Amino acid sequence: MRVLVTGGAGYIGSVCTELLCDRGHEVIVYDSLWQGHRSAVDPRARFIQGRPFEPGNIATMMAEVRPEAVLHFAGDILVGESMQNPGKYFRNNVACSLEFLEAARAQNVRKFIFSSTAATYGHPEQVPITEDAPQRPVNPYGEAKLMFERILTWYHRIHGLEFVAFRYFNAAGATERHGEDHRPETHLIPNVLKVALGQKPHVEIYGTDYPTPDGTCIRDYIHVVDLVEAHILALQPGICGFYNLGNGGGYSVREVIAACERVTGRRIPAVEKPRRPGDPPRLVASAARAMRELGWKPRWPALEDIVATAWAWHQKYPDGYPD
Ligand SMILES: NC(=O)c1ccc[n+]([C@@H]2O[C@H](COP(=O)([O-])OP(=O)(O)OC[C@H]3O[C@@H](n4cnc5c(N)ncnc54)[C@H](O)[C@@H]3O)[C@@H](O)[C@H]2O)c1
Ligand SMILES: O=c1ccn([C@@H]2O[C@H](COP(=O)(O)OP(=O)(O)O[C@H]3O[C@H](CO)[C@H](O)[C@H](O)[C@H]3O)[C@@H](O)[C@H]2O)c(=O)[nH]1
């Protein structure tokens, strides 16, 4: 298939581009490079650098590329920043996403796949979380993703556009070539591994008074390759709707640090800090729907195996991507 990957210079999009190229798809990456890295784009893909968002420029690009499917990873991703600057999130993650969707519809794109998030659930009433659990976001990042989910539903009802929105839990891990290099890096596992590399003196634990067994937040970590495999399965015709992607197992911040110590064989000092605003205590997925309807099965369900792939990448590229 000819596939447009928006945000394909970023963490998850670059891994997706690599796997799509491996399977012989024709991949066009569109990325503004506001985040992400030019050198993270697989050389087998065509790269188009996105310009600042102006009405019409995405439609022009889409008409030139004429993809059969759009995988829409592009977006701003920081929950904390969205609490400071909500407009940035509604503009990029809703208004700009709508430009991609409209342009895709105008070109009769067969499938639109969207990166949604567990943050649409807010503080869940129960875990594991199923797709029909109440969605009450507690930050503008989650709210913007939920707004776009609803836009997709209306486009499906009115225009018949086939979409898949994946609600990712916590993406982690790496391939040999592509890993996580956000700047600034706010995610737990890469920050812990930077301590193991000696690049940071300690990791900060945000909150030790949560209602969890060890007082720290629990998350469901999923290998980025498993995440991407679900997208590739979702390219099949007839797959449409909302799917959680996680492993169904939760690990606390302290458990993640301990797993990283075992994998790296290095001691990782930690400093306890206050809670980070907007963090729910426990997010764990039920991905039963994706398993049932897509035939999806994670290959890397164990946290230590996920961390091992991230550690291999960080050791190979201690300064991340060169640009
Ligand atoms: N990393 C996670 O654990 C996680 C969890 C849930 C959801 N998500 C979602 O998955 C997607 C990818 O996340 P990531 O971790 O790879 O982020 P990332 O920041 O590494 O990649 C996003 C890429 O999108 C690009 N971009 C942003 N706005 C753009 C625009 N308007 N036009 C063109 N390019 C643009 C950036 O330059 C960047 O390269 C995001 O939509 C994010 O909200 C990620
Ligand atoms: O240095 C750090 C970094 C994180 N944490 C804690 O570790 C847990 C995981 O934090 P991450 O920043 O790695 O991930 P989040 O769960 O905050 O965010 C991820 O999941 C969200 C959905 O809930 C969003 O989709 C977001 O884009 C995605 O990165 C949280 O409890 C956080 O407070 C620390 O204690 N120290």
Nearest CA owner, ligand 2 atom 31: 217
Pocket of ligand 1 (CB under 6 A): 6-7, 9-13, 30-36, 50, 53, 73-75, 77, 92, 96, 115, 117, 168, 170-171, 182
For the segment 150-189, what is each residue's pLDDT rounded down to a tens digit?
999 999 999 999 999 999 999 999 999 999 999 999 999 9
Whether 144 and 205 map to the same domain: the answer is: no
For the segment 23-46, what is each residue's pLDDT rounded down to a tens digit?
999 999 999 999 999 999 999 999
Q: Measure Cα distances from 165 to 98, 218, 222 in Å.
A: 14, 23, 16
What pLDDT, on the 0 to 100 scale, is given for residue 290? 98
Tell me, what CATH number does 122's domain have?
3.40.50.720
Q: Say if ligand 2 is within 6 A of residue 217 CB.
A: yes
User: Is the omega angle on the peptide bond into residue 137 within 30 degrees of 0, that is, cis?
Assistant: no
Whether 234 and 308 map to the same domain: the answer is: no
Q: Which two tokens stand for residue 58?
A: 């995405």
> Does 58 map to a domain?
yes
For the segment 291-314, what is each residue's pLDDT rounded down to a tens digit?
999 999 999 999 999 999 999 999
- Does pLDDT of 74 surpass 80? yes
Which of residues 245, 261, 294 is at a domain's end? 245
What pLDDT, on the 0 to 100 scale, is given for residue 204? 98
- Does pLDDT of 55 surpass 80? no
> Does 205 map to a domain?
yes
DSSP 103: H
Whether 10 and 147 map to the same domain: the answer is: yes
ipTM above 0.85, yes or no: yes
- Does pLDDT of 52 surpass 80? no
Mean pLDDT of all residues belonging to the chain: 97
Q: How far is the CA of 188 from the centre of ligand 2 (A)?
A: 6
What pLDDT, on the 0 to 100 scale, is given for residue 239? 97
- Does pLDDT of 323 surpass 90? no
Q: Give the SS3 label for residue 295.
A: coil
Nearest CA owner, ligand 2 atom 33: 206
Whether 56 and 115 map to the same domain: the answer is: yes
What pLDDT, on the 0 to 100 scale, is given for residue 139? 93
- Does pLDDT of 245 surpass 90? yes
- The model carries a pTM of 0.98
Whether 129 and 150 map to the same domain: the answer is: yes
Whether 160 and 202 map to the same domain: the answer is: no
Whether 60 and 33 map to the same domain: the answer is: yes
Nearest CA owner, ligand 2 atom 13: 187
Which range of residues forms the domain containing residue 87?
2-172+220-245
Closest CA to 113 of 39, 12, 24, 26: 12
Q: Report how far residue 274's alpha carbon sits from residue 194's, in angstroms, rounded to the nearest whole number.
A: 21
> Does 178 map to a domain?
no
Q: What is the mean pLDDT of residues 261-284?
A: 95
- Count of structural domains within the chain: 2
Closest CA to 287 of 245, 231, 250: 245
Whether 45 and 160 map to the same domain: the answer is: yes
Q: What is the mean pLDDT of residues 204-216?
A: 98
> Does 323 map to a domain?
no
Range with the poorest average pLDDT among 40-44, 61-65, 192-196, 319-323: 319-323
> Does 322 map to a domain?
no
Q: Report how far residue 46's alpha carbon sits from residue 67's, in angstroms, rounded to the nearest whole number.
A: 12
Q: Say if ligand 2 is within 6 A of residue 187 CB.
A: yes
What pLDDT, on the 0 to 100 scale, is given for residue 256? 98
Does 141 participate in catalysis according to the annotation?
A: yes
Q: Which two tokens stand for residue 52?
A: 């600042």
Whether 47 and 25 map to the same domain: the answer is: yes
Query: What is the spatial order of strands in the sheet that 162-168 belongs to?
Result: 46-49, 26-31, 2-6, 69-72, 111-117, 162-168, 241-245
Q: Which ligand is nearest the CA of 120, by number? A: 2
Whether 226 and 289 map to the same domain: the answer is: no
What pLDDT, on the 0 to 100 scale, is given for residue 293? 97
Whether 253 and 200 map to the same domain: the answer is: yes
For the segment 95-139, what is each residue's pLDDT rounded down to a tens digit?
999 999 999 999 999 999 999 999 999 999 999 999 999 999 999
Q: What is the dihedral of CA 54, 85, 140, 102, to 10 degrees?
A: 0
Q: Which two tokens stand for residue 60?
A: 């022009």
The answer to whether residues 14 and 40 touch, using CB atoms and an 8 Å cutoff, is yes
- Does pLDDT of 143 surpass 90? yes
Tell me, what CATH number does 257's domain have?
3.90.25.10
Whether 196 and 241 map to the same domain: the answer is: no
Work out the percent of the chain whose per-residue pLDDT is above 70.
100
